[in-house]
A and B are shown apart, each in its own frame.
Chain A
Amino acid sequence: AQKITQTQPGMFVQEKEAVTLDCTYDTSDPSYGLFWYKQPSSGEMIFLIYQGSYDQQNATEGRYSLNFQKARKSANLVISASQLGDSAMYFCAMRGLKVGNEKLTFGTGTRLTIIP
């Protein structure tokens, strides 16, 4: 079984500041993947970043980076230089990497609001 915990229901951040969204996970799978998705008010789920449990380096994609601490079972998302367009719901998710075990388990999300 897999579990994702996001403890920040909502966050308010000043434009241009960096923000860290927390995510902890639990799994019995020896290898797994961790994901962050963004869901604006329009409803679509937008993939942001992926980290494999076997990756030695933290994943980065433009202004997004994933602070992966395997021993702590945490996978926090860091957004640098926040923009007004970053206001949205953010979901952390995970899956096992065995074939046939591809379903994503999501957390409850964090609503991020960027203040001008």
Chain B
Amino acid sequence: GAGVSQSPRYKVAKRGQDVALRCDPISGHVSLFWYQQALGQGPEFLTYFQNEAQLDKSGLPSDRFFAERPEGSVSTLKIQRTQQEDSAVYLCASSSIQDVSYEQYFGPGTRLTVT
């Protein structure tokens, strides 16, 4: 079946531009997560949704970062006024509350480069 998809796969933005990253989770998955992975590092948590409710946004690095999931399926991560330190791979993951292994299924990521 279809896995988690993300678009675009690559994004180059000039400093100061706004960007929007899209995530399509696995159909029926209630939980959706965003992570940021800097070069050579492990992923770091940004925010988490259960259906349309954003239950945890403690990892968002600044108020320039905003995420939404208005209908409980597709999610968008928006970064306003991008800075060079925002350059990273942004990973989306989804999971089912019925999965006893609590596995999170990851998308291929969006590589954001801010110039």
Hey, which bits of chain A sit against chain B, CB under 8 A?
Answer: 4, 33, 35, 37, 42-45, 47, 50, 91, 93, 95, 97, 100, 102-109
- Pairwise interchain contact A43-B89, C-beta atoms closer than 8 A: yes
Given contacts A43-B89, A43-B108, contact A104 B103 (CB under 8 A): no
- Pairwise interchain contact A104-B104, C-beta atoms closer than 8 A: yes
Within 8 A of A (CB), among B75-115: 89, 91, 93, 95, 101-109, 111
The 4 closest A-B pairs by CB, nearest first: A106-B42, A45-B106, A103-B45, A50-B101
Q: Which residues on the A side are within 8 Å of B111 (C-beta)?
A: 43
User: What's the nearest-Cβ distance from chain A to residue B8, in Å?
Assistant: 14
Q: Which residues on the B side are within 8 Å of A107 (C-beta)?
A: 42
- Pairwise interchain contact B56-A100, C-beta atoms closer than 8 A: yes
Considering only CB atoms, which chain A residue lies closest to B111 in the complex? A43
- Pairwise interchain contact A108-B104, C-beta atoms closer than 8 A: no
Given contacts A43-B109, A100-B56, contact A106 B102 (CB under 8 A): no
Interface residue B18 (Cβ < 8 Å from any Cβ of A)? no
The CA-CA distance from A50 to B102 in the complex, in Å, is: 8
The CA-CA distance from A109 to B45 in the complex, in Å, is: 15
* A50-B102, A104-B93, A107-B42 known, 9 other contacts, Cβ within 8 Å: A43-B111, A45-B43, A100-B50, A100-B55, A102-B48, A104-B43, A106-B43, A106-B44, A109-B42
- Pairwise interchain contact B59-A103, C-beta atoms closer than 8 A: yes
The CA-CA distance from A113 to B106 in the complex, in Å, is: 23
Contact of B102 among A4, A37, A100, A102 (CB under 8 A): A102
The CA-CA distance from A82 to B91 in the complex, in Å, is: 28
- Pairwise interchain contact B109-A102, C-beta atoms closer than 8 A: no
Q: Which residues on the A side are within 8 Å of B33 (C-beta)?
A: 102-104
Q: Which residues on the A side are within 8 Å of B91 (C-beta)?
A: 45
The CA-CA distance from A35 to B93 in the complex, in Å, is: 14
Q: Which residues on the B side are within 8 Å of A105 (C-beta)?
A: 45
User: What's the nearest-Cβ distance from chain A to residue B44, in Å?
Assistant: 7
- Pairwise interchain contact A95-B102, C-beta atoms closer than 8 A: yes
